[in-house]
Amino acid sequence: MEVGSRIYVPVSVIETKISKRFDTIPSGTLYPNADEIEYLQRLVMYKDSAIIVLNKPPKLPVKGNLPVHNSMDALAEAALSYGYEQGPKLVHRLDRESSGLLLMGRTKESIARLHWLFSDVNKAKSPLKTWNDACETTTQRYWALVIGSPREKQGRICAPLSKVLLNDGKTERVILANPSGVEASQEAITDFRVLGPMINGCTWIELCPLTGRKHQLRVHCAEALGTPIVGDYKYGWYVHKKWKQMPRVDIEPTTGKPYKLRRPEGLDVQKGSVLSKVPLLHLHCRELILPNIAKFLDILDRKSQNLPKFSSRPDVLRFVAPMPSHMKISWNLMSSYLV
């Protein structure tokens, strides 16, 4: 730009302030309405002065692009300020189709600390030992239902990822990086553990990402382990074409008697589960462990000689989110096969 240049700014950028009268938000704008705001507030699992933790449902986008207005960041700006001048900001993301724990920072200080905590760079140690210990406990655990079963019961996947454009020139896809390829790649590391035996061709596994790459867990499951996640048609479409729909259970899992639940003809009460013809993505961020940011923020910037004494145990927060309904149905159904 040069001095004197004329700049035309879209209305959506100019109107950055969210109206405080949430119940009168005009339906013609991109701002969330009262129902959406109330819905998001019911998803909050935990709130303190530094963070907000939500249990995100599947199909709700995290980061919105025009004309998508019902994304988590747009809704949070309007619904989750709770007296603060600004709403909370995302510090990590979940895919639109994924569900589970989503962490947001409420202040500039907490957002900076959380971005640092979830970054992949080598982190400098703090003079505060309890903070260092708490940071080392930081963990994200996902549960996923995959087609097939990994060869090993547990292990670590170290498989860099690259992004490529498909033939249409618009669609982006993440693939395992070719060591001899020219595409740029990023380090991607995932720990996995099998949770149970394979049932009807599917296995429940636990995934712990040690890096935060786009579609990392989905690509590692589909291409590194050879077991795509149920409902992941982007990276497991070929396996889904050959996969047979799970048969309906006809007996009660505890008594062995005929199944009492009856459904009207044509009504799919198992929508999205392994009983469905088109299952939803079975990937859920179930557990999150992180330092108690609110307690540490006041002391992290102090000089080492003024640091207070803490307990020898790390001061951490742990959250566990229940699975969405389609995954609960699949879990209960497959558990019945184990009886």
* Domains of the chain from N-terminus onward: 20-119 (3.30.2350.10), 124-243+259-338 (3.30.2350.10)
d(CA 240, CA 278): 9
Highest mean pLDDT among 180-194, 262-276, 299-313, 324-338: 180-194
Q: How confident is the model at residue 323 (pLDDT cuts 50, 70, 90)?
A: very high
d(CA 299, CA 58): 38
Highest mean pLDDT among 74-83, 162-171, 261-270, 294-303: 74-83
Give the mean model confidence (pLDDT) for residues 94-114. Answer: 93
pLDDT at 142: 97
Query: With pLDDT > 90 as the criterion, what percentage of the chain qualifies?
Result: 37
164-173, 234-243, 308-317, 319-328: the lowest-pLDDT one: 308-317
Q: Identify the residue with better confidence: 178 or 73.
A: 178
Give the mean model confidence (pLDDT) for residues 108-117. Answer: 91
Sign of CA dihedral 289, 195, 208, 76: negative
pLDDT at 339: 45
Nearest to 160 by CA among 198, 110, 201, 210: 210
pLDDT at 11: 43
Judge whether 191 counts as a catalytic residue. no
Question: Of 23, 48, 95, 301, which is the active-site residue?
Answer: 95
pLDDT at 337: 59
Q: What is the mean pLDDT of the chain?
A: 79
Q: Identify the residue with better confidence: 81 or 266.
A: 81
Provide the whole-model pTM.
Answer: 0.80
With a cut of 90, say whether residue 210 has pLDDT above it: yes
Q: Identify the residue with better confidence: 103 or 5.
A: 103
CB 271 within 8 A of CB 324: no
Buried b (16+ CB within 10 A) or exposed e, 127-146: ebebbebbbeeeebbbbbbb
76-85, 227-236, 245-254, 261-270: the lowest-pLDDT one: 261-270
Q: How confident is the model at residue 292 (pLDDT cuts 50, 70, 90)?
A: very high
Q: Identify the residue with better confidence: 35 or 177.
A: 177
Q: What is the pLDDT of residues 173-195, one digit of tens each?
A: 898 988 776 678 889 999 999 99
